[in-house]
């Protein structure tokens, strides 16, 4: 939810940033084309990228790359510069989408796939409509560059907090089996029969 909220917030500050640096509509459109270039390349490489890390660490890596790249758009290297970090943002995200879809298909019983898809869609998108509002408010208050640094920092902070979870860091995408159940009830000593 946080990734979708903050990910939906960066476009308005980005457009403001390009305008602050003297970019016209043509330059803004070209800079935003970086999202498409990265997305297409990421889609082609998603199979390879998803094999580099287990799902839990891939999630952390993608959120970190997103945050660091977003903050890097604010570097003072001209109106065209933000296109380069945008490529890296969307280069990494398709692999996460592929892995998430595979995990749901692998771990969720077939009779529950529709309901699980609805829950994931609702949960993931619940805050997304607020993203442009947040981005616009930050850009109005701080300017484009500072707003992008704040959003990038919040994404990196989200990744750092998520990394505190050992379950997430070590999550390999395997569904627990009957013998692997480690609930507290199973750890209690049992009386002999």
CATH code of the domain covering residue 166: 1.20.1250.20
Domain range holding 31?
A: 2-173
Whether the pLDDT of residue 193 is over 70: the answer is no
**Least confident interval from 66-75, 96-105, 162-171:** 96-105
pLDDT score of 79: 94
pTM of this prediction? 0.83
- The reply to whether 182 falls in a domain is no
28, 115 contact by CB (below 8 A): no
- The reply to whether 188 falls in a domain is no
Chain-centre distance of CA 120, in angstroms? 14
- The reply to whether 64 falls in a domain is yes
Separation in Å, CA 31 to CA 19, 26, 71, 79, 174: 11, 9, 15, 8, 39
Distance, in Å, from the CA atom of 23 to the CA atom of 113, rounded to the nearest integer, reads 46
pLDDT score of 189: 45
- The reply to whether 32 falls in a domain is yes
Residues 6+ apart with CB under 8 A from 28: 15, 18, 19
- Residues 22-46: tens digit of each pLDDT: 999 999 999 999 999 999 999 999 8
Overall average pLDDT of the 114-118 stretch:
86
Whether the pLDDT of residue 191 is over 50: the answer is no
Residues 6+ apart with CB under 8 A from 129: 8
**Number of compact structural domains in the chain:** 1
- The reply to whether 183 falls in a domain is no
How confident is the prediction for the chain on average, in pLDDT?
A: 87
Whether the pLDDT of residue 111 is over 70: the answer is yes
User: What are φ and ψ of residue 74, in 5° steps?
Assistant: -80, -5
- The reply to whether 185 falls in a domain is no
Distance, in Å, from the CA atom of 103 to the CA atom of 119, rounded to the nearest integer, reads 15
- The reply to whether 66 falls in a domain is yes
Distance, in Å, from the CA atom of 138 to the CA atom of 54, rounded to the nearest integer, reads 35
**Least confident interval from 4-8, 56-60, 188-192:** 188-192
Q: From 141, 136, 132, 9, select the one nearest 70 (Cα to Cα).
A: 9
- Residues 146-176: tens digit of each pLDDT: 999 999 999 999 999 999 999 988 888 776 5
- The reply to whether 129 falls in a domain is yes
Is 100 buried (19+), middle (13-18) or exposed (0-12) by CB count in 10 A?
middle
Whether the pLDDT of residue 21 is over 80: the answer is yes
Overall average pLDDT of the 4-32 stretch:
94
pLDDT score of 183: 43
10: pLDDT confidence band, cut at 50, 70 and 90? very high
First to last CA, the chain: 48
């Amino acid at each position: 939810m946080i990734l979708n909220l903050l990910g939906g917030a960066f476009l308005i500050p980005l457009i403001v940033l390009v305008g602050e640096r003297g970019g016209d509509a043509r330059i803004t459109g070209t800079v935003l084309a970086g999202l498409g270039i990265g997305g297409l390349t990421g889609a082609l490489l998603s199979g390879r990228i998803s094999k580099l890390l287990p799902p839990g660490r891939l999630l952390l890596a993608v959120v970190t790359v997103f945050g660091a790249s977003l903050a890097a758009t604010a570097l003072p290297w001209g109106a065209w510069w933000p296109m380069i970090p945008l490529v890296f943002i969307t280069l990494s995200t398709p692999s996460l989408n592929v892995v998430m879809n595979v995990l749901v298909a692998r771990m969720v019983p077939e009779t529950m796939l529709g309901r699980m898809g609805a829950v994931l869609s609702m949960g993931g998108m619940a805050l997304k409509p607020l993203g442009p509002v947040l981005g616009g408010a930050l850009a109005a208050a701080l300017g484009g560059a500072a707003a992008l640094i704040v959003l990038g920092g919040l994404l990196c902070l989200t990744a750092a907090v998520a990394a505190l979870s050992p379950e997430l860091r070590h999550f390999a995408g395997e569904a627990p089996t009957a013998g692997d159940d480690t609930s507290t009830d199973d750890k209690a000593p049992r009386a002999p029969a």
